[in-house]
Amino acid sequence: MKLRAIAVLLALLAPLAGCGPQRHGAADARTTRPHVDAGSAAAGAGFDFYLLNLSWSPEFCHAHPDAVECAEHARFVLHGLWPQNMDGTYPENCSNAPEPANPAEYADIYPEAGLLRHEWRAHGTCSGLSADAFFTAARTAYRSVRIPAQLNAIAAQTSMTPEEIAGAFAASNAGIPRAAVVVSCGHNYLTAAEVCLDKSLKPMACPALRACRANTVRIPAP
C-alpha cells in the first residue's frame, strides 16, 4: 500500500506544468500532447471542442485524504471542461481575464476555490466565455452526464475493462455515443472518464485521444 501511494504521488507531480493541481492520482491524459502557449499567435485562434473530465475521486483521495471532496466520499467529480483541438493540441493560459466575482456560487462543482481558480486561468480563459459563463457551462456539462448505476454503487474495490466502463457510460446516457467516451487510468487504476463535447455541449465522437491501454483497471471504493 505504501508503494502504491508513492507511485501515485510521483505520477501526480509529473503533469503539473501542463494542468496544475490534479484531482486524480495519475498523469493527465493530455500531457502527452502539445499545448499552445498563451504567448503564441495561435493562442487566441479558438478551439475545436471541449473535453469534460470526470475524475474518479477515490483514486485521488487515496493520496490526498484531507482534500475537501474526500470527506464526501464522492465518486466521479468534475475536474474540468477543457478546450481542445482536433490536431491533438490544446490552448492554455490564454488571458488575464478576471475569475468569478463570487467563486462560492460554484462550490457545488468546485468545493476547493484553488482548483476553480486554476481551471479558469489554465482552461476557462481559452473558452472565449466570461468566467461566470464558463463555469455555468461546466456545471451544465457535468450535470448532463448520468453516472452509470454500477459505478455509483461500488462499495468495495472491483475491476473492469476500460471498454466496460466507457460502454456503461454510453448505455446510461442515450445521447452519448460510445465514441464520445474515453477512459483514463494510471498504474492500472481508474482515474477518469472523459466525454468529448462540441461547443454547444453536445456529445461528439472524440478524435484520436490517448486512452487507457490496460486490459483491466482497478476501481477503488470511496
CA distance 169 to 167: 5
DSSP E strands in the chain: the ranges are 35-36, 49-56, 76-84, 90-91, 158-160, 181-186, 189-197, 217-219
62, 79, 99, 194: which one is catalytic? 79
CA distance 97 to 108: 23
Q: Is 35 a catalytic residue?
A: no
Write the CB contacts of 131 (distance below 8 Å, at least 6 apart in sequence): 97, 98, 99, 100, 120, 124
CA distance 91 to 39: 10
Residue 142 identity = Y
- Position of cell 477543457? 82
Q: Is 69 a catalytic residue?
A: no
Q: Is 79 a catalytic residue?
A: yes
69, 92, 99, 119: which one is catalytic? 119
Burial call 22-54: b when 16+ CB within 10 Å, e when fewer: bbbbbbbbbbebebbebeeeebeeebbbbbbbb
24, 59, 123, 194: which one is catalytic? 123
As annotated, the active-site residues are: 79, 119, 123
